Amino acid sequence: MKAEKIRNQTDAELQDQERQLSDQLFKLKFQMNMGQTESLKKIRGLRKDIARVKTIMGERTRGAQATTEKK
């Protein structure tokens, strides 16, 4: 998932996206521990996507705080 695509989403969509990605990651980790799958690439990709979403959410909150402090 590209950062540009994530930036175009609303805050609610970002929270939903993070929740979905976390659920997918949990399921993949569970399957891996059970020996059903060996998809390390998918796990790495999901972790990076979650980090991107959290980073952009953090940027937005810091940006909102900076604008309120200036006023």
What are the tens digits of pLDDT across the range 11-43? 999 999 999 999 999 999 999 999 887 788 999
Confidence of residue 2 (pLDDT cuts 50, 70, 90): confident
Q: Given 1.10.3720.10, 1.20.1730.10, 1.10.287.310, 3.10.580.10, which CATH number is that of 3-70?
A: 1.10.287.310
Reported residue count of the chain is: 71
Interaxial angle between packed helices 11-34 and 40-70, expressed in degrees from 0 to 180 and rounded to the nearest 10: 150
Rounded Cα distance, 28 and 49, in Å: 14
Q: Are 13 and 56 in contact (CB under 8 A)?
A: no
